[in-house]
Amino acid sequence: MSELRTTEPSTPEPHLWLRHEARPTERRTPVVPEDARRLVEAGVHLTVEDSPQRVFPTQEYETVGARIAPAGSWTSAPRDAVILGLKELPDQPGELTHRHIFFGHAYKQQPGAGDLLRRFAAGGGALLDLEYLVDDDGRRLAAFGFWAGYLGAALAVLQHRGRLSAPLRPTEKGELDETLRPAPGDEEFTALVVGALGRSGRGAQAAFATAGVEPVCWDLAETRDLDRAALLAHDVLVNCVLATAPVPPFVREEDLDAPARRLRTVSDVTCDVGSPLNVLPVYDRTTEWTDPVRRLRKEPPLDLIAIDNLPSLLPRESSADFSADLTPLLLDLGVGTGVGAGGPWGRCLDRFREACRELGLREGEFDRA
């Protein structure tokens, strides 16, 4: 079985390095200051990079005992430090020597996935992908899914009602909910949540409830033998399906021109664009905070929202929930002494090595981690 190890003598205490996020719109953090306190009190050597965009001020981390480092300085961190983040790494350095914890989006043939894994292979580092941090039954142990679904449905409602303005900006739930509540003159519409039983699906249902809309809810039973005509008969679709194997697409290019299409607004929470597992292969790139809606058809209109960091629009609430789930797992990481076979982190490492082998990378190229 696999074992995390370093090529240098380990420090007497675990070392976590919380990096600044390279994406300008990413305001979340995987560890909030109060949970940073828990890590420090447990003996973790915690370094936190300064980040002007992080929703929690750097000073709050320093107050609880974290060491502060300049943004982007993780590239020169000690080899035994584990680099912790959320979204994509910058393009450089070309060789990744550390163990990294973040959402890598590298195991479903997404664009750029092979290049990222080759960077780890070249440097001898390893990816511990948060999407694959699961329990014995394969259930995610830390996820932003609820808030992704909530915001995906919220933006769909606002767009459908003509109240979505750009650019998007981070807010708090109370303020968002005020804009979601129905107003005089709002027309009724039908909504469908696909993947309704998962975290994202539950979040989408909660947002629709705030908006005064009772959505139709589909999950595995309803999509196993898909009634595509019934799907297209809804005004709004929120896709929360996280496919792990190829399935027939829910919406195809030819469906966009179907005469009977009633569908007007699609919010793709999953954003598997470019992957063979994408259940909505009708677009080729995500949308952005500056331009959150793309019109796929003019007549009758069909609008797409496909933002891949939705929870960052509610950065404080989503970070607090995620950090509460992740912190106990970080305390069990065993940084500096190695992670033994089995357990959530061991499974993460095994999945990384499996992905590298699928690319034909030799074991020795990535086994230093």
Residue 339: per-residue pLDDT: 47
Q: What are phi and psi of 50, to 5 degrees?
A: -60, 140
pLDDT tens, position by position, 284-343: 999 999 999 999 999 999 999 999 999 999 999 999 999 999 999 999 986 433 444 568
Predicted confidence at residue 334, as pLDDT, reads 66
Rounded-to-integer distance, Cα 178 and Cα 361, Å: 52
- Going residue by residue through the chain, which has 369 residues, state the pLDDT in tens, using 9 for 90 and above: 333 333 444 445 789 999 999 999 999 999 999 999 999 999 999 999 999 999 999 999 999 999 999 999 999 999 999 999 999 999 999 999 999 999 999 998 888 999 999 999 999 999 999 999 999 999 999 999 999 999 999 999 999 999 999 999 999 999 999 999 999 999 999 999 999 999 999 999 999 999 999 999 999 999 999 999 999 999 999 999 988 788 899 999 999 999 999 999 999 999 999 888 899 999 999 999 999 999 999 999 999 999 999 999 999 999 999 999 999 999 998 643 344 456 899 999 999 999 999 988 864 454 544
The domain locations on the chain are: 15-132+314-366, 145-307
- The CATH number of 15-132+314-366 is which of 3.40.50.2300, 3.40.710.10, 3.40.50.720, 2.60.40.10? 3.40.50.720
Same fold, 15-132+314-366 and 145-307: yes
Query: How confident is the model at residue 8, as a pLDDT?
Result: 42
Reduced 3-state DSSP string for the chain = CCCCCCCCCCCCCCEEEECCCCCCCCCCCCCCHHHHHHHHHCCCEEEEECCCCCCCCHHHHHHCCCEEECCCHHHHCCCCCEEECCCCCCCCCCCCCCEEEECCCCCCCCCCHHHHHHHHHHHCCEEEEHHHCECCCCCECCCCHHHHHHHHHHHHHHHHCCCCCCCCCCCCHHHHHHHHCCCCCCCCCCEEEECCCCHHHHHHHHHHHHCCCCCEEECHHHHCCCCHHHHHCCCEEEECCCCCCCCCCCCCHHHHHCCCCCCCEEEECCCCCCCCCCCCCCCCCCCCCCCCCEEEEECCEEEEECCCCHHHHCHHHHHHHHHHHHHHHHHCCCCCCCCCCCHHHHHHHHHHHHHHHHCCCCHHHHCCC
pLDDT of residue 2: 35
Q: Given this model, what pLDDT does residue 245 score?
A: 84
CATH ID of 145-307, from 3.20.20.70, 3.40.50.720, 3.30.1480.10, 3.40.50.2020: 3.40.50.720
Rg over CA atoms, the chain: 21
Side chain identity at 96, as an amino acid letter? L
Q: What is the pLDDT of residue 243?
A: 82
Instruction: Return the pLDDT at 109.
Output: 83
Q: What residue has token string 């329990």?
A: 135
pLDDT of residue 362: 63
Instruction: Evaluate if pTM is beyond 0.85.
Output: yes
- Residues annotated catalytic, as ranges: 87, 105
